[in-house]
Structure 1
Amino acid sequence: MTDEAKLPIYLETETESNVRLYERFGFKTLEEMNLPVIHQPMWTMLREVKIDE
């Protein structure tokens, strides 16, 4: 649906194994950080609009 609407998809994950899964679907890591206070790793990811050729 997002491709039809020409919208990118943004997501956040706190599970490192999810990063590889999302990369298989075209997501790229924007930032890897460590959340303060709880010391939890987090990745922000983006998948640009897929343009069918």
Structure 2
Amino acid sequence: MDRLRSEWANTSTKSRIVLGVILGVVIVFAALSLTGVVDFAPVQTGVTPVHKG
């Protein structure tokens, strides 16, 4: 754990922000698809994702 923590401390702020943004987008996208806000329907429309409402 200490080695991981020191590596994280050595990680530049820029890459930390990039990782955070990527993680945030993935989490939000997963949450939206799980709750049905974003529906994957490539067969019906040919476009993904499809926004309902």
TM range (shorter): under 0.3
Higher helix share: 2
Higher strand share: 1
- Which of these two proteins has the greater Rg computed from alpha carbons? 2
